[in-house]
A and B are shown apart, each in its own frame.
Chain A
Amino acid sequence: MTAATFIAWENRLSKMVREPGGVRMGQALEQAETNLDTIQEQCLEAMDAQIEEMEKLCAEGGRQPPEDTKNQLYDLGNDVLAVAGAFDLKELGQASFSLCELVDRLRSRGKWNQAAVEVHLSAFRLLRQPDPETDRSSVILGLKGLTDRVASIAE
């Protein structure tokens, strides 16, 4: 066990945020939401393109895709997660998290399950639409259960 050195440091941010001026925190939040509105359409368009790309990768990769395809699916899943949740598509974000978990656990064991990935991507399409009839929480529960079952078998 080695000795640890403790270093005191000056938190420059601490003084700065208290300087006169700036904005009220409530206004800061409102302005941030307004700013997000200005990029929502563009971000969602890019996200839709990423979902299309995932579908294509999944179809082309077949039952034994190359590692690069698995890695791309994982990265794109994380991209969808970042955008969906920021624009009121919480369940789509949760579905993409489940897909990333599935892909990560399968690829780390050198396994694959195309059907389980396809189920996730179908759910993406479903959750992308603002259909009030869809029982979204059940869809997410189903995806998480699927990921756990498939990954447990692989492990």
Chain B
Amino acid sequence: MAVQMARGEMAKFDPKAWINLEKARVLLLDDHAEGGQILAQIVMGFGVKRITRSTAVAEAQEFVQASEFHIIMVNANLRESPAFEFIDWLRRAGLQPNSFTPVILITGHTQRAQVERARDCGANIVLAKPVSPQSLLERIIWIAREKRPFVNCDTYMGPDRRFHDTGPPAGMVGRRHNDPPESAVSEADVQAPEQPAEEFKGGEAA
């Protein structure tokens, strides 16, 4: 089953704009040799020089405890241990700054029983296989613009899953400190505002 995860408007980019990933440290957690190679070759093409590859959750846990990463990519279809548990652990591990590092969850087919786990594990964005350079670059640009706060509660720790602040559902009391009181929320208030995709301007040439 394909994972449908709400996401913002995908970043549009100017091919002439600059992007600098030379200093980025990327962790790839993928136990499929060819899948991991594909990801590694793509991100190297983007100029990433420091890639750490891991094929097991326990090993990846050691890496994030030892080094800082700027992007973490996780194959959702790990054979030996659930990828979602790694992300959930990462978010709650209290590692500064890695517990807040953007995570791209790479999904193939997702088991029906796992769809909710994929949505709720704390990843910033889901990228469905097959991965192409264009689709991955779009996600990286998107997470570079990521501003959603993290939400921490009993059942979830990760980026706010609401991409637009439309307030609590009609008739319910919100849990955000800045949510309006129940009586103030009407159907008209909960229409999501249209937000056009912001063009990524990129950096400057050296």
Chain A residues with CB under 8 Å of chain B are 1-14, 16-26, 28-36, 38-39, 42-43, 46-47, 74-75, 77-79, 81-86, 90, 93, 96-97, 100-101, 104-105, 108
Contact = CB atoms under 8 A, between A and B. Distances in A.
A18 B24 CA distance: 12
Interface of B: 1-2, 13-24, 32-35, 37-38, 41-47, 70-71, 77, 79, 97, 100, 102, 108-109, 111-113, 129-134, 136-137, 140-141, 143-147, 149-155, 160, 175-177, 202-206
Nearest to A103: B109
Contact of A79 (B20, B35, B42, B176): B35
Given A4-B152, A11-B147, A29-B137, A22 B97 contact: no
A135 B77 CA distance: 30
A90 B131 CA distance: 11
A76 to B, nearest CB: 10
A104 B112 contact: yes
Contacts, number: 222
Contacts of B154: 2
A69 to B, nearest CB: 14
Q: Is the interface of A mostly helix, strand, loop or mixed?
A: helix
30 contacts: A6-B150, A6-B177, A9-B150, A13-B144, A17-B141, A17-B202, A18-B20, A19-B203, A20-B20, A21-B203, A25-B14, A25-B15, A28-B133, A32-B44, A32-B45, A35-B44, A36-B45, A38-B41, A42-B37, A78-B109, A78-B129, A79-B32, A79-B35, A82-B34, A82-B108, A97-B108, A104-B109, A104-B112, A105-B112, A108-B113
B175 A86 contact: no
Contacts of A82: 32, 34-35, 38, 108, 129-131
Q: Is the interface of B mostly helix, strand, loop or mixed?
A: loop
A21 B17 contact: no
B19 A17 contact: yes
Nearest to B130: A85
Nearest to B156: A4
Contacts of B42: 32, 35-36
A21 B45 contact: no
B174 to A, nearest CB: 10
A22 B18 CA distance: 6
Contacts of B44: 31-32, 35
Most buried by A among B19, B140, B145: B19
B41 A24 contact: no
A4 B175 contact: yes
A32 B22 contact: no
Contact of B41 (A6, A35, A93, A100): A35
Contacts of A20: 20, 203-206
B19 A28 contact: yes
B44 to A, nearest CB: 6
Contacts of A104: 1, 109, 111-112
